Structure formats: C-alpha cells, structure tokens
Amino acid sequence: MIQKNDEFTLEITDLGTNGEGIGKIEDSGVKAPAAGSSNGKIKAAHGSGKIGAPAARGDSKIEARVAHGGYTVFVKDALIGDKVRIKIIKAKKNYGYGRLMEIITPSPYRVKPPCPVARACGGCQIMHLDYKEQLRFKENKVHNLLERVGGLKDFQMLPILGMKEPYYYRNKAQFPVGKNKDGRIVMGFYAGRTHSIVDTRHCYIQHPLNEKLTQIIKDWMEKYSIQPYEENTGKGLVRHVLTRIGSTTGQVMVCLVINGNRLPQADALISQLTKVEGMTSICININRENTNVILGDQVRTLWGQPYITDYIGNIAYQISPLSFYQVNPGQTRVLYEKALEFADLKPGEVVWDLYCGIGTISLFLAQTASKVYGVEIVPQAIDDARNNARLNHMDNVEFFVGKAEEVLPREYEKNGIYADVIVVDPPRKGCDPSLLECMVKMAPKRIVYVSCDPATLARDLKYLSGNGYKVEKVQCVDMFGHSVHVETVALLTRKAQ
C-alpha cells in the first residue's frame, strides 16, 4: 500500500486542469524493497523497465504494493515529459499527491521562469511551461471537457488566440500585506492554496509601475509604524493594496484596503504617491470584517477622482475600486470582438447581456444592436454601467439590478421583452438552472456564452444542446498567460423546429 512519505521515480504523461503533472506508478504485482539497489534506483519487477517503481534514497526503507492498473499521482510543478523523483504527501486509495523533489530528466517543453519566486507564488502555475505549449494545454483542456462533460462532438474548435507578449499584461493588482518571520513588512502574492505571502518586488505579469507604488507604501508604513493586518488576531490596519493602471490612458489608481475607518499619516502618503506620473485616484476601502473577502463595500477618495478611465477599442469606461473590469485590456478587446462576431447582429435585433458587470460587453454590442438589456446583481456595477453608457453617448442600452435568473424571467414573462440574441458571461459557478430554462423558453436565434470556467461551460452547454440548441463553434482566448485559466467563447444556434 502506498503511504505518505514514500518516494518514487515517475514519468509525467499528462497535465491536470490545474496544471499539475500526472503520472502513474505502474502495477508490479509484488512488494519492492527500496534499499540496496545501485545508484539509489529500483527497476520495475519482471524486467518491465517502466518508470514508476519505488525509488530508494539513503537508508530509507520503502515498501509498496502498487494498485492494479497503476496508481495515479498528481505532482505540482511537473510537466509532460519530465522524469522526476517525488515524495508522496497525501495518499488516497487509487490516487495520491506528490511533492517534486528532483527533476531527473526535464521535459522538452520545460523553460526557466524569469521570475525567481514563480514556484513558490500561487499566481503563475505554469510559467515553467513554454508559452506555445501553455496555449496547447488550455485549448486541449477546454476541448476535452466539452467532449467528456458536455457530451459534445459535432462542433468547430477554433485555434486558441494567444498573446503577442505574455508578460506585464495585467492592469490590476491586489497585494496582500503582512510581516515575515523577522517582523519586516512584506507585500506580494499568496503561495498556492495558502495565505502565506511571497514577498514580490517585481512581478512579471503585472504592470512594472507596481514595483514603485508598493515600495512607496512599504516605506511609508515603516516610517510611520503603520501595521499590517493580522488574520489570526484581527489586529493591524493595512490589509491589501489594490492598484489599477489604464492601458491606454496611463491613469493610475491606488486603493488601500484597511481594517479601520481612517488612514493615519495619509497626507504623507499622498505627497509621495502624487509624484508618480499618471496618478489619478487615491482611495481607501474599509473592510473590518473577519473574512477572506478582499474588498469591503465602502470606498472613500483621499485624493483625485474616485475612478480612472480606460478604453477598450473606441469605448471608454470609468473604473472604480469595486468595478469588475477584465485585467488584460489587449486580450479583452480580442475576447469582446469575438463575442460580437459570434453574435452576428442584424439591424433591428435585440440583445440581452446577462452578468453584464459595468457594461463592458453591453456597450460593445450596443455599437451594432438596436437595443441591449444588461443585468447585474451588484448595484455599484450597474451605476457604473449606466454612467459608462452616458459617457459614450449610447441611449440604446438599459440596465437592471438583480439576479439574472430572476430579472430575465420577470421581464420576459410579465413585460414581454424578448431577445434575438442572448450573451451570457457568468462567474465560475456558471448559470443558474432556472436561467438556462428561461433562455430556452425565450428561444433566441443565437446564444453567445462567454466563460471563465471550462467545466461549468461544458455542463451548461450540455443542457442547452439537449434543449433545442446546437453548439456551432468554440474559441479560446488566453487572457492569463502563465496561469491555468482561460476564457472561452461559444456560439449556439437554435435548431430548426
């Protein structure tokens, strides 16, 4: 039986949905004592020569009866083609998790990450994978889930749209603030699946200006003894530093999330931050709750405007600290233009944009549609959406506050508002079943589904394809280079009745 702390050599033959390497410890059918083999290795029984037999290290005695058909092991930071030495850190009956101890033979797709803390940091799970292979991995992940979970076969999978330059692409950062073992203030990102902060001076996917902004704040905190928040005690003031930087305007926002109602020595901080070119908005966000949620509901402007302005294509958007706005502006334009292409709007057609946020997709669609209705549960986002419509002089857009699964049935059944096209861009959990039912009842000609989670996309497309719609084509767009996340746009058309 395979147990915790057993060590093995393993060949990685696949990648999981979270970018972890997958290998199998092959069935040898016998117990294999680990000690005594030459060069610290044990060959598989019966002369099979397969990688996967237990590996000896020093005097440790490891015995294992490998599960019939192979025992699956998931190994963070391992890649297809790697031959690795791993230590089991969690053992289930038919599968386990291993820690990467040594790369014996590297994968041909393995590259050296430019970031020195890439392995420790939870932000870039696959920076050690060649970018072209990252794109292949993401496209295959979506395609496989659509086939396996969605049961879809007859659809066109278009080649994934990758970035020209997969570095320094994020226009938004949220830096947790804390102390290290020596009591020094640290800012960075959480290590994977923990709340341990990896101090990060230079992030290779964030805007380079963030290095200067975080240093100013760190220096100010140290000079005036401003304490970071401690999750375990609930004491301390500064919880997170949020930054937004307009990709086209160059406008800069800094927002400190604080465990209090005021910011001491605020004038001293403002005097330094306002020296930064492009500084437009300095705010505080008040979050006094004992929670992992980063932002509270209340924002106060300390200096400048309560928002910055940026553009996607020809559309201007005012973005506040609480606004949902895609973090990769260049690829956001690619994504929205693809959604607009799939919508294939004709003169006079009416569109519903569900989970519309601050109206980013709605306003793109309004350039062509006769009328666009947007729905979003967050009141502040709808305020932003309405303001953005006015900012762009668009009067063919109407927004509703509420749950999409409540607003859409109400407006359709009680007020008779129909749709030629429905565009839906839900959170990771996907669409509520009642919303999908209403969409089918409304029977729009086309549905454009924008997804940030391939698994829930596959689930929802399975329902729609079984209730009168055909999935025509699917397009992945890489918005998050070096991470495992991917955006997907799917076009569905109504089957002939």
DSSP-H helix ranges across 178-283:
209-223, 266-273
Closest CA to 350 of 401, 422, 443, 439: 422
C-alpha to C-alpha distance for 128 and 112, rounded to whole angstroms? 6
β-strand partners of 172: 244
In a 13 Å sphere around the CA of 466, the CA atoms on its Cβ side amount to 11
Closest CA to 420 of 351, 344, 490, 348: 351
Residue 450, both tokens:
């924008």
In a 13 Å sphere around the CA of 266, the CA atoms on its Cβ side amount to 16
> Any idea which residues carry the catalytic annotation?
452
Dihedral angle sign, alpha carbons of residues 473, 479, 484, 485: negative
Say which DSSP state 135 is in.
H
C-alpha to C-alpha distance for 484 and 59, rounded to whole angstroms? 38
β-strand partners of 111: none
Starting at the earlier edge strand, list the strands of the sheet with 279-286. Answer: 197-199, 185-190, 172-179, 238-245, 252-258, 279-286, 298-304
C-alpha to C-alpha distance for 244 and 321, rounded to whole angstroms? 8
Closest CA to 428 of 460, 469, 400, 406: 460
Residue 428, both tokens:
């990771």
- Tell how far CA 168 is from the center of its chain: 16
One-letter amino acid identity for 300?
A: R
C-alpha to C-alpha distance for 328 and 244, rounded to whole angstroms? 11
Angle at 202 (CA atoms; ends 196, 204), nearest 5 degrees: 100
- Give 248: exposed, middle or buried? Use CB within 10 Å, 0-12, 13-18, 19+: middle
